[in-house]
Chains A and B, each alone.
Chain A
Amino acid sequence: DQQVKQNSPSLSVQEGRISILNCDYTNSMFDYFLWYKKYPAEGPTFLISISSIKDKNEDGRFTVFLNKSAKHLSLHIVPSQPGDSAVYFCAASFLYQTGANNLFFGTGTRLTVIP
């Protein structure tokens, strides 16, 4: 059963406009959320994260918003650039007793930024 869901498989945005990628989760025990970016034939690379004690985290053009009551987070990219075209994965985590920070991934959203 998918605990982290990205319901939009794809998104197209004009260069310079805002990209909004959405993610929902079902497990209220998740305490950390991350966004990863993936180019073809490469591994995912970390983009930005947010702890469950915050509702917003910003890093340059990237901002992640967390709404715990709705179990929803979103990634905003402003302004969008053609180099942002990639697959974006939302991931969530909580600590097991062994301490490994296992990540639960969504299915990804393919962002295309049109020049």
Chain B
Amino acid sequence: NAGVTQTPKFQVLKTGQSMTLQCAQDMNHNSMYWYRQDPGMGLRLIYYSASEGTTDKGEVPNGYNVSRLNKREFSLRLESAAPSQTSVYFCASSPAEYISYEQYFGPGTRLTVT
């Protein structure tokens, strides 16, 4: 049982390049989330998926797109990376709607955009 896994662990992009951050969970959770963490800002929600087939914007969605590929996988895409997107990205999942508030986090992806 690996929990929440994220790939890659590190990535350096040039401004304007695109990439997809991958996230998978093996806990049969319904809800999945993408956060970014910046120094002095805590974690901020980018997008979330309450259940398979649905996605919604969080607090800071601009410049990102997401895909809930199936119940296990939730990817985050940067279409045209900007230096302001330099951050640590965390994926998380939670068991079921309306039942649990606890989220389980992956180890993070450290992204640098030059």
Chain B residue nearest to A94 (CB atoms) is B101
Number of A-B contacts (CB under 8 A): 77
Measured CB to CB, the closest approach of chain A to B67, in angstroms, equals 16
Over the window 8-52 of chain B, the binary record of Cβ atoms lying under 8 Å from chain A Cβ atoms (1 yes, 0 no) is 000000000000000000000001010100001111110011110
Q: Is the interface of A mostly helix, strand, loop or mixed?
A: loop
Partner of B102, one of A34, A105, A107: A34
A114 at the interface (CB under 8 A from B): no
Interface residues on B, range: 20 to 34
Chain A interfacial residues counted at CB < 8 A: 29
B76 at the interface (CB under 8 A from A): no
A42 at the interface (CB under 8 A from B): yes
Known: A43-B92, A103-B101. 8 other contacts (CB 8 A): A32-B101, A36-B105, A44-B90, A46-B103, A100-B49, A100-B56, A105-B43, A107-B41
